[in-house]
Amino acid sequence: MSTDFPTPSKDASVTAISDLEIFARVARTGNMSAAGREMALSPAVVSKRISLLEERLGARLFQRTTRQLTLTETGEGYFKRVVDILSLVEEAEDFVSRRNTKPRGILKVTAPTSFARRHITPHLASFMVRYPDIELDLHLTDAFVDIIREGFDLAIRIGELQDSSLVARKLAADSRILCASPAYVAKAGPLKSITDLELHNCLGAGLQESWRLDGPDGSKSVRINSNLRTNSADFVRDAIIAGLGIGLRATWDVGHELKTGELVRVLPEYRGSSTMAIYAVYPSRDFMPAKVNVFIEHLADIYGAEPYWDREVGSVAGMDGKSPAARPALKARVQSR
């Protein structure tokens, strides 16, 4: 089976790498038929490519007789230089291949500030020890970043996945619950139904005017009222802990406070939309660099099918499906700490 190559440009200054490979193979074997067999080309194709190469160069590279094929003096000099060129091409391909198969180089990542500080930074030491050839450039921001335009390898994003040309890998669910400080609940009174939220100070970041909640009757959108506005999610978190109102917060964000009792869950039969999740987003699945893949796998392995922050606070926050009233012994242990 023979394979032909595309006809190279007529520009004499341009020589296809394939023609250089054919020339070098003929020079080494001293035989066009042998060179053709090694490259799966017919002798006629090899002869034609060599003739066109000589024509473009304006020089004879081989002396041809019926029995012998030898390099001319010009051909000898050309051969030495072609060998160097092909060696550099091979080295360049090997460089790209190694970079795609061995985790190395600068890994540029963007991630939400609070999540990164709580659930990426603590796990970086083991990652850097395991992959010492990776240099991590971590850009923390709550703003949406165009990762292609700004040259990021990877983005960690939290929310509902939008249609995009980017590739996304779900790392964990983003479970959101209604919570408040015990002091706020004691002062404002307990909530008995979802409509009671209208009577309470519900704290949200930015221009948030409603919460979408999943409950016994399906999904509901609840309008919220607040006497406090801020663009900072961390400020909202601190305000909830300080007793200023009720918040819809991710368990990864308030897990510690739920466990220690600084926050308690309200209306435990309701939670944030189940469509929310934590994703790793990257430009393309094709030829994904090893450095990107190992970082994603590192986080996915640590978070697990059920994120550790949910496992740690599940029973305390009522995420095990039991009401707080059904767990008096657990409640007593939490209060005694």
pLDDT for position 94: 67
Instruction: Please indicate, yes or no, whether residues 116 and 186 belong to a single structural domain of this protein.
Output: no
Residues 35 and 86 in one domain: yes
Higher pLDDT, 175 or 337: 175
Q: What whole-number distance in Å separates Cα of residue 184 and Cα of residue 7?
A: 79
Residues 66 and 53 in one domain: yes
pLDDT at 336 > cutoff 80: no
End position of a domain, from candidates 76, 99, 122: 99
- One-letter amino acid identity for 55? E
Write out the residue range of the structural domain in which residue 114 sits: 105-174+277-305
Chain position carrying tokens 């435990």: 268
- What whole-number distance in Å separates Cα of residue 49 and Cα of residue 17? 12
Query: pTM of the entire structure?
Result: 0.67
Name the DSSP letter for residue 146.
Answer: -
Q: What is d(CA 90, CA 93) in angstroms, rounded to the nearest whole number?
A: 5
For 259-290, what is each residue's pLDDT tens digit? 999 999 999 999 999 889 999 999 877 778 88
Question: Which CATH number covers residue 114?
Answer: 3.40.190.10
Around 84, how many Cα atoms within 13 Å sit in the side-chain half-sphere? 5
Output DSSP code: residue 143: S
2 falls within a domain: no
E strand map for 37-183: 62-64, 69-71, 105-111, 134-140, 154-159, 167-173, 176-180
The pLDDT value given to residue 255:
92
What's residue 325's pLDDT?
38
Q: What percentage of the chain carries pLDDT values higher than 70? A: 86
> 23 and 80, same structural domain?
yes
Instruction: Mark which of 64, 99, 134 sits at the end of a domain.
Output: 99
Question: How many domains are there within the chain?
Answer: 3
Average pLDDT over residues 223-252: 92
Q: Which amino acid is at 62?
A: F
**Do 152 and 299 share a structural domain?**
yes
Of 19-23, 207-211, 314-318, the least confident = 314-318
Average pLDDT over residues 192-218: 89
State both tokens at 142: 């709550």
Q: Is the pLDDT of residue 315 over 80?
A: no
Residues 247 and 281 both lie in one domain: no
> Given this model, what pLDDT does residue 99 score?
62
- Structure-token match 């506005």, residue found: 229
Same-domain pairing of 109 and 147: yes
